Amino acid sequence: MVTANERAVLRELAAEVARIAADPIMGERRTLWKQKNQLMFGRPALFVSAEGAWRELLPESTLQCKGQWARRAEWHLRSRIYMWEHFDDDRVIEPVWVVPKRITISSWGLEPKFRPSTAEGAWGYDPVIHAVDDLEQLTLPVVSHDAEGSLRDYELASDVFDGLLDVQLLGVHNVEFHLMNQLCKLRGLEQIMLDMYDQPQLVHRGMERLTQGYLGILEQYRQLRLFDETLDDLHHLGGDVGFSCTGVTYRDDTLHPEDPECLQIWAAAEAQEMTHVSPAMVREFVLPYERKLLAPFGFVGYGCCEDLSKKLGDVLQIPNLRRVSVSPWADVETCAAQIGQSVVLAWKPHPGTVAGDFDPNYVREYLAGAMGRAMQYGCITEVVLKDTHTCCREPERFDIWTKIAKEIALQYA
Which pLDDT value is given to residue 246? Answer: 39
Closest CA to 413 of 84, 24, 46: 46
Torsion of CA 189, 195, 200, 206, to 10 degrees: -40
**Taking the alpha carbons of 223, 224, 226, 228 in that order, is the dihedral positive or negative?**
positive
Helical H segments across 58-171, by residue range: 68-86, 147-160
The predicted-structure confidence for 72-100, as pLDDT tens digits, reads as follows 999 999 999 999 999 999 999 999 999 99
pLDDT at 224: 97
Query: In 3-state terms, what secondary structure has residue 249?
Result: coil
Question: Which domain range does residue 351 map to?
Answer: 4-410
pLDDT in tens, the chain (413 residues): 899 999 999 999 999 999 999 999 999 999 999 899 889 999 999 999 999 999 999 999 999 999 999 999 999 999 999 999 999 999 999 999 999 999 999 999 999 998 877 766 777 888 999 999 999 999 999 999 999 999 999 999 999 999 999 999 999 988 999 999 999 999 999 999 999 999 999 999 999 999 999 999 999 999 999 998 765 655 544 443 222 333 556 655 545 555 656 788 889 999 999 999 999 999 999 999 999 999 999 889 999 999 999 999 999 999 999 999 999 999 999 999 999 999 999 999 999 999 999 999 999 999 999 999 999 999 999 999 999 999 999 999 999 999 999 999 999 98
pLDDT of residue 140: 93
pLDDT reported for residue 240: 35
Residues 6+ apart with CB under 8 A from 248: 29, 30, 33, 47, 91, 92, 233, 234, 235
What integer pLDDT is reported at residue 245 of this predicted model? 36
Q: How far apart are CA 130 and CA 267, in angstroms?
A: 31
Q: In total, how many domains does the chain have?
A: 1
**Which pLDDT tens digit goes with each residue over 343-400?**
999 999 999 999 999 999 999 999 999 999 999 999 999 999 999 999 999 999 999 9
Alpha helices by DSSP H, listed for 224-285, are 279-285
CATH number for the domain harbouring residue 240 = 3.20.20.210
Contact 246, 236 (CB under 8 A): yes
Note the pTM of the prediction, 2 decimals.
0.93
Helix, coil or strand: residue 117: coil
